[in-house]
Amino acid sequence: MSFVHLFRRYLREQGLPVTQQREAIAEVVFNSPEHLSVEDIEKKLRERGERIGKATIYRTLETLVRSGLVEEHDFGEGFKRYEHLFGQKPVREHLICTECGKVVDMHSTELHRVQDEAARQQGFLPARYRLQIYGLCADCRAAGAELRWEGLSCPIETV
């Protein structure tokens, strides 16, 4: 149920002190299935009765990311979001609905393989990747939403 001991182990491995704040922040992140913003984390901590400064949250998240237990995301909202990597295979593919803003996780082994291949063909040695697909989610499509193009009437016709 709780994965905090993994983080504790990482801290010890690195010779870093295990503090109340670090454990509380890790617990909050590990117990949320969503992609959390720093503000979300702060709110959840307050709900638990913990009052931890933003600076500490940022600093702890940096450590969590470095430990490999948490991943940082940027969905172009102007701030970052954080997600733990337990449960299923690490999810690095996100479908982002341009209508309702919902973010759906996805995983495709084939996709992973093709990406890897393509990168290697360029002499590149891939380590991790991040894919964001923007479009309409199933719900919004069902509700009748449509993709809209507000750009040039005749997109890119190099005339």
Partner DNA sequence: GTACGTGCAAAGTTTTTGCAAGAAA
Partner DNA sequence: TTTCTTGCAAAAACTTTGCACGTAC
Positions that interact with its own copies (CB under 8 A): 3, 6, 9-10, 13, 66-69, 72, 74, 76, 85-86, 90, 93, 95, 97-98, 104, 106, 108, 110-111, 114-115, 118-119, 122-138, 141, 147, 149-153, 155-156, 158
- Give φ, ψ of 51 to 5 degrees: -115, 95
Whichever of 29 and 140 has its CB closer to DNA, that residue is: 29
Whichever of 20 and 88 has its CB closer to DNA, that residue is: 20
**Residue 32 binds which entry of its own copies, DNA, none, with Cβ cut-offs from 5 to 8 Å by kind?**
none
Q: Angle formed by the axes of helices 54-67 and 38-47, to 10°?
A: 110
Whichever of 47 and 146 has its CB closer to its own copies, that residue is: 146
Dist. CA 94–CA 107, nearest whole Å: 9
**Residue 55 binds which entry of DNA, its own copies, none, with Cβ cut-offs from 5 to 8 Å by kind?**
DNA
Whichever of 48 and 131 has its CB closer to its own copies, that residue is: 131
Q: Which of 80, 89, 84 is nearest to 54 (CA)?
A: 80
Residues forming the site for DNA (CB under 7 A): 12, 15-22, 37-39, 51-56, 58-60, 62, 78-80
For residue 38, the tally of other CB atoms under 10 A from its CB is: 15
Shortest Å, Cβ 46 to its own copies: 27
Q: Angle formed by the axes of helices 20-30 and 54-67, to 10°?
A: 70
Q: DSSP letters of 20-60?
A: HHHHHHHHHHHT--S-EEHHHHHHHHHHTT----HHHHHHH
